[in-house]
């Protein structure tokens, strides 16, 4: 012991210790000076502490539970439309800048690597950082998500699941009077749809007595780890390598995602073995004019991607993204809109009256999209459900971006946030009111209108179309949500089936208030109040 104490109190060791401490202090001071005064974005407004360290963001998003989006809104009120929110990133609250940042074809936009791996799926299309690599990965999936492909292959399946299973179960619940959390039912529907399309077999959630609600619960709970994963990128790989019993204690949310990935590994590995055995004798079908295998993952495994893009880990990443995105955002939308329809008798009555114009059991999405009030309800639903509430960073690698008087240096991560756009009172007066009328214009034929009335209606149409620029639940540009057409089909067909099924059942809210659909936390997808029991209904 004396020898031990002598060694650690020797002058050489003490000099090494203090030398290391002084070097660390000099490094931190130099880093602080650089970030505050010499960084390419040092001149942009914002709190100095945010410019100094990512832990400013960590406090609001990790310690306070997904609250940085609320703080960012406050910072914009203080500093203006463009602010620095961490040492590397700028955030913009200027509606006209949205089309600049999330530009279409011809403009390269990378993701920011620091945030792209928030769910541990960095080799999926969602997590891909470089523009060109993302373009290649997206091209392999795009044929399955075009409007024609969805109309041809998925609309019949969606209608069958809706009328043969979902509405049939609602009808049976009428006899019991048992309240139902509609999120369970809608998540069961969307999970069965996306798994059927991806793997040729659904998870059977609509057939399960409890709707297999542990699936949506697991995936939603799993998103709570996203901010921790950004701040500590080593954590998710460490959790995967850690014994399960330890992970369950330390971070149950991460365990949910790991379990999902392991299930996907089993399914995709089985598909890969199946493809090897059949040696090219696969069933094929036409998809948007091209010969494609019958499901999404059969296509990826047997398609034109290079071999390194067909590895099991990468396909699992793609599957994780597809299942989560296909289930979570659409079911949250349907839950939110169901509440607002049932909470307002006038909206409910007008929607049901319009749906009497069509046979909801056979109506196509194209027919339903032509119903003006249903379309208005869907548009207003997007404004409240948001799609994602997390900010979406983009990096313009080739040129500076212009935002008002500011020139944003090339290579700078820049983000915007959908809820700040959707609740902007300058764009949407009385933004907290669910008002489908803000999306309506006329509807009478030209022969039935006078010249002055026609001019007014045309002006109103242009006003609504201009407003639609700022409705961005699926994002925009080259990285717009790939599943926009599938989600649109699910939304229109489900609302028509549920609210147009007169005689089968009547839905009423059960011990549910607007608080149960409030968006409170940003875990990339919207989260509500932790103590909410959900949007519950009974069937009459």
- Tell whether residue 205 is among the known ligand binding residues: no
Distances (CA, A) of 259 to 58, 199, 213, 360, 382: 26, 18, 15, 38, 31
- Residue 92 is given by DSSP the state E
- Chain-centroid distance of CA 125 in Å reads 13
Residue 158 CA to residue 150 CA, distance in Å, equals 10
Residue 174 CA to residue 169 CA, distance in Å, equals 9
Q: Where are the alpha helices (DSSP H) in 200-344?
A: 214-222, 226-231, 235-241, 244-250, 252-278, 296-302, 312-343
Question: 204: number of CA atoms within 13 Å, CB side?
Answer: 3
Residue 451 burial by Cβ neighbours in a 10 Å radius (0-12, 13-18, 19+): exposed
Residue 67 CA to residue 69 CA, distance in Å, equals 5
Tell me how long the chain is: 540
Question: 199: number of CA atoms within 13 Å, CB side?
Answer: 25
Element (H, E) at 490: helix 484-499
Residue 169 CA to residue 276 CA, distance in Å, equals 40
* Tokens encoding 208: 């399960």
Residue 173 · residue 184 · CB < 8 Å = no
Helix (H, G, I), strand (E, B) or coil at 6: helix
**Residue ranges at the known binding site for heme:** 481
**Residue ranges at the known binding site:** 481
């Amino acid at each position: 012991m004396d020898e031990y104490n002598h060694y650690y109190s020797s002058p050489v060791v003490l000099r090494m210790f203090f030398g290391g401490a002084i070097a660390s202090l000099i490094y931190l001071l130099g880093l602080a000076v650089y970030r505050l005064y010499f960084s390419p974005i040092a001149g942009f407004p914002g709190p100095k502490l945010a410019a100094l360290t990512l832990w400013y963001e960590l406090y609001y998003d990790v310690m306070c539970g997904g609250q940085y989006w609320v703080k960012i809104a406050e910072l914009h009120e203080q500093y203006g439309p463009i602010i620095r929110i961490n040492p590397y990133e700028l955030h913009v609250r200027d509606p006209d800048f949205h089309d600049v940042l999330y530009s279409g074809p011809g403009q390269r936009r990378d993701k920011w690597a620091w945030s792209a791996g928030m769910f541990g799926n960095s080799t999926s299309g969602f997590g891909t950082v470089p523009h060109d690599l993302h373009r290649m990965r997206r091209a392999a999936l795009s044929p399955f998500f075009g409007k024609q492909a969805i109309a041809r292959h998925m609309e019949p399946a969606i209608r069958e699941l809706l009328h043969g299973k979902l509405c049939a179960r609602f009808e049976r619940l009428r006899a019991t009077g048992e309240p139902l959390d509609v999120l369970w039912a809608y998540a069961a529907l969307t999970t069965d749809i996306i798994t059927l399309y991806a793997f040729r077999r659904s998870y059977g959630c609509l057939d399960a007595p409890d709707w297999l609600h542990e699936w949506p619960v697991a995936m939603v709970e799993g998103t709570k780890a996203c901010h921790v994963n950004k701040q500590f990128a080593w954590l998710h790989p460490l959790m995967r390598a850690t014994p399960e019993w330890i992970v369950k204690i330390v971070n149950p949310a991460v365990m949910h995602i790991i379990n999902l990935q392991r299930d996907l590994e089993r399914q995709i590995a089985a598909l890969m073995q199946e493809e090897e055995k059949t040696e090219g004798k696969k069933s094929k079908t036409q998809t948007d004019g091209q010969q494609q295998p019958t499901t999404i993952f059969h296509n990826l495994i047997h398609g034109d991607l290079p071999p390194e893009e067909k590895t099991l880990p990468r396909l699992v990443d793609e599957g994780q993204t597809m299942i989560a995105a296909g289930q979570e955002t659409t079911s949250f939308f349907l839950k939110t809109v169901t509440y607002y329809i049932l909470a307002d008798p006038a909206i409910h009555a007008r929607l049901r009256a319009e749906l009497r114009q069509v046979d909801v059991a056979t109506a196509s999405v194209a027919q339903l999209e032509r119903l003006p009030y249903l379309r208005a309800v869907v548009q207003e639903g997007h404004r409240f459900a948001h799609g994602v509430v997390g900010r979406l960073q983009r990096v313009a690698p080739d040129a500076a971006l212009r935002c008002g008087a500011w020139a944003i240096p090339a290579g700078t991560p820049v983000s915007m946030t959908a809820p700040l756009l959707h609740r902007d009172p300058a764009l949407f007066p009385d933004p907290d009111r669910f008002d489908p009328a803000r999306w309506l214009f006329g509807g009478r034929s030209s022969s039935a209108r006078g010249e002055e009335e026609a001019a007014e209606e045309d002006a109103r149409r242009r006003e609504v179309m201009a407003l639609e620029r700022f409705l961005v639940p699926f994002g925009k540009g080259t990285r717009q949500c790939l599943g926009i057409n599938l989600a649109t089909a699910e939304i229109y067909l489900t609302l028509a089936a549920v609210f147009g099924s007169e005689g089968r059942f009547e839905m009423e809210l059960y011990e549910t208030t607007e608080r149960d659909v409030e968006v409170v936390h940003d875990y990339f997808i919207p989260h509500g109040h932790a103590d909410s029991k959900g949007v519950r209904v009974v069937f009459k």
